[in-house]
């Protein structure tokens, strides 16, 4: 285990995920905040917005070319899709060896970046200094599907429902509590970026239908899989328990998990295993907190992996 202390910067720290990252990093024995950037909060004390942090650091709004000069050992890019490239280019121009973790979708299809879903990909990590954090929906889908790869017949259908924090802080219909009240809002019903992300990572066709619900945080993912050969329920559960044995952040449960029970938790729950009468159709339900295992917790897992700390340091399962 590393005994050094490392300085972590966050770009885009005003958002929901940035706030969770600040909270998690504040409790880490080996990490300290180098800077947190936010144009909207520039000059304000971080501690005034995030009670988990007790230092004197203030939000700043540096230019892209200034970022490599701020002395961070690692920088987490918590920016909307399409915004990360200019930051990455600034570090590349400066010849910086800082570790970069991108939370957007911008580099998830780039083979030069390590795709950091540790429960499925940690064996591919070989010290890469560029890490792409998986999407929140994509994390739930992959963990729910992976144990059945090789036994599937045809595309997998995934019906996802997220709390409105997944839509970010920029005002829109999908994060407007008034418009979401007593409502379920479908969007991007074909070709969603997470559909392509999961298909690319698992090498299997995915059909994903996302929705937003009135709750703030948490994802429910109902996954429908057709099987090439019939299976019994105990065979299915054994596959999942075997695949995730020794993975504290993946819990296999008997009943279909509830999203209300996962809010604020670091792990994914997978359960509700249901087979059709002929044993050739399997339905599985996965839940996760989209801001934690779907984003900030996973980023911290990747930081721990990169800097030689036990993967769950500062993460309480």
136, 146, 185, 299: the catalytic one is 136
Assess whether 87 carries a catalytic annotation: no
CB 147 within 8 A of CB 239: yes
44: Cα separation from own chain's centroid: 28
pTM of the model as a whole: 0.95
The sheet that has 219-226: what strands, in order across it?
Answer: 185-186, 206-212, 156-162, 219-226, 281-288, 268-275, 250-252
Residues of the chain by 3-state class (helix, strand, coil), percent to 5? 30, 25, 45
Nearest to residue 45, comparing CAs of 33, 59, 34, 32? 59
Compute the average pLDDT of residues 143-149: 98
For residue range 19-38, what is the model confidence (pLDDT) as tens digits?
A: 999 999 999 999 999 999 99
- Percent of the chain at pLDDT above 70? 98
Distance from C-alpha of 313 to C-alpha of 69, rounded to nearest angstrom: 28
**Residue 3 confidence class, pLDDT cut points 50, 70, 90:** low
* Between 303 and 16, the higher pLDDT residue: 303
Distance from C-alpha of 51 to C-alpha of 69, rounded to nearest angstrom: 28
Distance from C-alpha of 146 to C-alpha of 201, rounded to nearest angstrom: 10
Predicted confidence at residue 286, as pLDDT, reads 98
Predicted confidence at residue 14, as pLDDT, reads 76
For residue range 259-270, what is the model confidence (pLDDT) as tens digits?
A: 999 999 999 999
Where do the domains of the chain lie, and which CATH numbers do they carry? 6-134+294-307 (3.40.50.720), 136-290 (3.30.360.10)
Q: Where are the alpha helices (DSSP H) in the chain?
A: 16-26, 84-93, 118-121, 136-145, 177-180, 193-202, 233-243, 297-307
* Arithmetic mean of pLDDT over the chain: 95
Residue 2 has pLDDT above 60, yes or no: no
**Residue 172 confidence class, pLDDT cut points 50, 70, 90:** confident
For residue range 178-232, what is the model confidence (pLDDT) as tens digits?
A: 888 999 999 999 999 999 999 999 999 999 999 999 999 999 999 999 999 999 9
Residue 150 has pLDDT above 70, yes or no: yes
Compute the average pLDDT of residues 308-313: 97
CB 37 within 8 A of CB 57: no
């Amino acid at each position: 285990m590393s005994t050094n202390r490392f300085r972590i910067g966050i770009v885009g720290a005003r958002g929901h995920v940035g706030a969770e990252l600040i909270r998690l990093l504040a409790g880490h024995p080996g990490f300290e905040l180098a800077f947190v950037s936010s144009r909207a909060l520039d000059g304000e004390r971080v501690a005034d917005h995030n009670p988990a942090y007790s230092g004197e650091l203030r939000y700043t709004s540096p230019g892209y070319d200034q970022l490599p000069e701020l002395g961070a050992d690692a920088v987490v890019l918590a920016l909307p899709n399409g915004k990360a490239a200019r930051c990455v280019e600034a570090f590349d121009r400066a010849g910086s060896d800082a570790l970069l973790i991108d939370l957007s979708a911008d580099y998830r299809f780039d083979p030069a970046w390590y795709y950091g879903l540790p429960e499925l990909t940690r064996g591919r990590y070989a010290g890469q200094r560029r890490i792409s954090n998986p999407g929140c929906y994509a994390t739930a889908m992959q963990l729910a599907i992976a144990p059945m790869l090789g036994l599937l017949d045809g595309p997998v259908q995934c019906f996802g429902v997220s709390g409105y924090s997944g839509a970010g802080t920029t005002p829109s219909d999908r994060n407007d509590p008034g418009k979401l009240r007593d409502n379920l809002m479908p969007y991007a019903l074909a070709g969603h970026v997470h559909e392509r992300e999961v298909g690319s990572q698992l090498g299997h066709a995915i059909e994903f239908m996302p929705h937003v619900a009135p709750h703030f945080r948490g994802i429910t993912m109902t996954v429908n899989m057709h099987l090439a050969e019939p299976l019994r329920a105990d065979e299915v559960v054994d596959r999942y328990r075997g695949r995730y044995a020794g993975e504290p952040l993946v819990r296999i449960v008997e009943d279909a998990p509830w999203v209300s029970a996962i809010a604020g938790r670091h792990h994914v729950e997978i359960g509700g295993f249901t087979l059709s009468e002929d044993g050739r159709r399997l339905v599985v339900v996965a839940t996760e907190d989209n801001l934690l295992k779907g984003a900030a917790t996973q980023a911290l897992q990747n930081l721990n992996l990169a800097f030689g700390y036990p993967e769950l340091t500062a993460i309480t399962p």
